[in-house]
Structure 1
Amino acid sequence: MTQSEFPALSDWAPTRDTLSLYAAAVGVVPQALADPHPKWWHVSLKVQEEGAATIPIPHPGSSDTTFQLVMNLKTHTVDIATDDGEIHSLSMTEGLSSTEFGNRLLSTLRDLGITGEFERSKFENDEPRAYDPQAANDFRVILLNTAKVLDQHKAGLSGESGPIQLWPHNFDLAFEWFGTLMVSSDENGETKEHPSQINFG
């Protein structure tokens, strides 16, 4: 591992907090509109070269059309990418509070005919947000290389494991490893059994 693979992130806390809150705004969209996964994998972001992206999300007005949200840490935008090739970008560098940014994101989606019951409380915060493009890009490099390390670790495990995911609510990168022991939990008054699991990240 070299410094170029894991650059130092000194004095990046303000940018980290901005990315975390903006990710929370992005995350409410798949939570409301994506096909639900029993382990909530539908709300997570997947690491890619540009940064992190949602899974393809069904367009609520068209059953055969999808779109994705991409936190692009190269261009420092959140991109709304439709499967017909259109991209609508929102800058993350304007100092907007996460409330303002989230509202702008949902307004842009509404203009594209994409509406839903979005949980705005997850991103509402009225403090102006700082954003350092260099720190964000350094984080992108670290994110990519950390995902590679986790993927190598996953390859050495037996049994079932989940995808490597960036979770918007805590802004943590992790994957799940499932055991053979079944555990019971109460969900909305109903007892369900799930395989035991360990989170690595």
Structure 2
Amino acid sequence: MLRLLVLLLVLLNAGYYAWSQGMLRSYGWAPAEQSEPQRLTQQIRPEAIRILPADEGRRAEQVALTPPKPPECLQAGLFDEAQTETVRKALETSLPGGAWSLELMVEPARWIVYMGKFPNAAAQEKKKVELEKMKLRLQPLDNPELQLGLSLGRFETQAQAQTELNALQRRGVRTARVVQERPEIRQSQLRIPAADEALRPKLEEIKPALGDKTLRSCR
């Protein structure tokens, strides 16, 4: 009886082993396969996976844990009309359309009440003394072409300068006249309102077009 029981256990173990290893699959007896082949098809470039050395892994972890810099407003300029077109082409090539703007800045013309040109510095100084005795305040001249002359006032419009000239003539000033010291200046300023981590690397591409102008924080 005991021998029969032992023989039965041996046969049962042998049968279980054959079943669990799939040896009886051709007879329709085999365990269900536990596999997920769909996961293999979902892998993206598994050959690109690599194990990082310890020091490189620590650096990568530090970069991942470092919070990104907040977006920063940057500006550059001013640019004249020719420079503006060069900058515009570089911006259209390198940056997204809504990431930048070129803001037109107009500096109005300047008109002055002017006396001169005098034949020499001595004549200029003599007239300057006369005007100071009349308690008239002189303004510096920014236009080199008007040197050896005197400015009796700066104005944004020709009409304002003419009004001042009329008043000076009533005080005895006879040889002054209204002239334009500087024409209207039209320039553009580049403004990038939100330069974030994604945009900053692209800013290197536009720097050659900026010439001697540099990007700086918006004021």
Between structures 1 and 2, the one with greater helix share: 2
Between structures 1 and 2, the one with greater strand share: 1
* TM-score normalised by structure 1 residue count: 0.24
